[in-house]
Amino acid sequence: MVKKNKFFKTELLASALADIREAITGTEKDFTSLPMGKALFLLALPMVLEMAMESVFAIADIFFVSSVGTGAVAIVGITESLMTVVYAIAGGLAIGTTALVARRIGEKRTEEAGKVAVHAVVLAVFVSIAIGIPGFVYAGDILRIMGASSSAINNGGSYTSLMLGANVVISLLFVLNAVFRGAGNAAIAMRILLFANLFNIILDPCLIYGWGPFPEMGVKGAAVATITGRGLAVILQFVYLFANRSRVLIVFSKLRYEGEILLGIIKLSTGGIAQNIIATSSWIFLVSMITGFGDETIAGYTIALRVVIFALLPSWGLSNAASTLVGQNLGAGFPQRSEKAARKAAAVNFFFMGFLSVFLIAWPQSFIRVFTADPDVLMRGSEALRIVCYGFTMYGLGMVMSQAINGAGDTFTPTLMNLLCFWLIEIPLAWLLSHSFLQQQGIYYAIVIAESTLALIGYMVFRTGRWKRMKI
């Protein structure tokens, strides 16, 4: 009996290690026919790691810039809030791209998936140029409107102008990885961002502090390092895409402008962009409220937000996996399997995030202290982290519900949900509570209330099953 148990455990461990290896190295298996648990795992693991790589960009910048001064950290924080608009647009394009590519892959129409990919890339470039030129020219004025001090703008304004001006590398990185995710090539997207982060982490201290032959650029160096890392990653993405090293098939002789494909991307992406802009613009309003409580509070909030984003990575990974599985299975004609994928991902997310929140709420100082030794920033950051983490279980549920609906091709409903929860609930509530005895804590409580409401509405919408009938 002991030998049997030992053999069983060995086989179980070997099977788990094989699944992990397959998820990380990539698989050619059909996700519409695999057992649901395995399909979700093979997609979710590399997507979690991909999200981790994405968040490392901002965390690395904060880590190295924090030694430059509180003003530099504040500039990075405000810039990241402005960049959320870029992320919102790029993320919206990614939502539409993922939904269409996943549906075409599910239908076994790989050439059509390739056409979607090329049209999405061209659209991303044009949108990025429209944002980049005014962002580069008027960065200082934008920072001033956001409440940054004159000294902070003089010392770190170049960071903002570079990040906004070179936003095309961010958009392309988002859209091309969305193509890979929609096709089920999550491992490729993960490797791309790992490559980008290696360059960013190496270049950050070199360009910020002037190590070796590199010039000392201060906070500007963080922007140069990030743009370089992302730019090299985009080049690698094109190599994978045009060499047909993914499930998406690019046939150059058949590539031409097709209005129907472009309009399809625009239609789905408009909803994705709208819901992201609604959500992220609310964060900009929140930051503008927080700046009124001083540089220490905004610096603490910025660091707390990095910790929160990092902690939410498993949720994002599972949510993106659910989106891909929903799209591919609907394309293959398996709506019940799509629902099963979303429900399983939501359950895992809900309980895992609840478990994780216990540690973040109980010992917030331990996580904030990694980034700063300033006692005032430590206190403010710990306060923000503890309160925001009260809603972690609901955040996990809400992410999966929204992404499942998006993956089905219904980007309009999540837009309405975001409009209600973030503009009609979160912003007014944050203003009211921040002008009460709660002060900045009121803003953090408003975040918890709005996000929890979003999760509940998303679950109710999901249960109606209307998303299963979307035609894209």
- Whether residue 113 is predicted with pLDDT greater than 80 in this model: the reply is yes
- Specify whether the CB–CB gap between 395 and 421 falls below 8 A: no
Amino acid (one-letter) located at 171: S
Which residues span the domain enclosing 317?
36-469
Q: What would the two tokens of residue 456 be?
A: 């509940």
> Residue 437 gets which letter from DSSP?
T
Q: Is the pLDDT of residue 175 over 90?
A: yes
How is 61-90 classified by DSSP, letter by letter? Answer: HHHHHTTT-HHHHHHHHHHHHHHHHHHHHH
1 burial (CB, 10 Å; 0-12 / 13-18 / 19+) is: exposed
Contact 26, 188 (CB under 8 A): yes
Counting residues of the chain whose pLDDT is more than 90, the rounded percentage is 44
Among 157-161, 167-171, 352-356, 362-366, whose mean pLDDT is lowest? 157-161
pLDDT tens digit string along 354-403?
999 999 999 999 999 888 888 888 999 999 999 999 999 999 899 999 99
pLDDT score of 233 more than 80: yes
Amino acid letter, 447: I
Residue 105 located in a structural domain: yes
91, exposed or middle or buried, with CB in 10 Å at 0-12, 13-18, 19+?
buried
DSSP, res 214? S
CA distance 393 to 397: 7
Which pTM value belongs to this model?
A: 0.82
Highest mean pLDDT among 54-63, 171-180, 181-190, 298-307 belongs to 171-180
Q: Is residue 201 part of a domain?
A: yes
CA geometry: angle 421, 93, 22, nearest 5 deg: 100
Task: Determine, yes or no, domain membership for 224.
Answer: yes
**40 within some domain:** yes
Query: What is the residue type of 7?
Result: F
CA atoms within 13 A on the CB side of 143: 30
Angstrom CA distances, 265 to 117, 253, 273, 325, 387, stand at 10, 22, 11, 19, 38
Whether residue 6 lies inside any domain: the answer is: no
Mean pLDDT over all residues of the chain?
87
Q: What is the pLDDT of residue 12?
A: 66
Is the pLDDT at 15 greater than 80? The verdict is no
pLDDT at 2: 52
Q: Is residue 4 part of a domain?
A: no
Q: What share of the chain is helix, strand, coil (3-state, %, to 5)?
A: 85, 0, 15
Domain count across the chain: 1
**Burial class, 465, CB count within 10 angstroms (exposed 0-12 / middle 13-18 / buried 19+):** exposed
317 or 383, greater pLDDT: 383
Question: Does residue 13 lie within any of the structural domains?
Answer: no
Nearest CA to 400 among 468, 464, 454?
454
The most confident of 63-72, 278-287, 330-339, by mean pLDDT = 330-339
Residue 110 tokens read as: 């790989």
Could you give the dihedral angle defined by the CA atoms of residues 391, 396, 400 and 401, in that order, rounded to the nearest 10 degrees? -30
Residue partners of 197: CB distance under 8 A and separation at least 6: 53, 56, 57, 60, 229
- Residue 27: inside a domain: no
Which stretches of 231-327 are assigned E, i.e. beta strand? none
What pLDDT shows up at residue 386?
95
Per-residue pLDDT, averaged over 399-415, amounts to 93
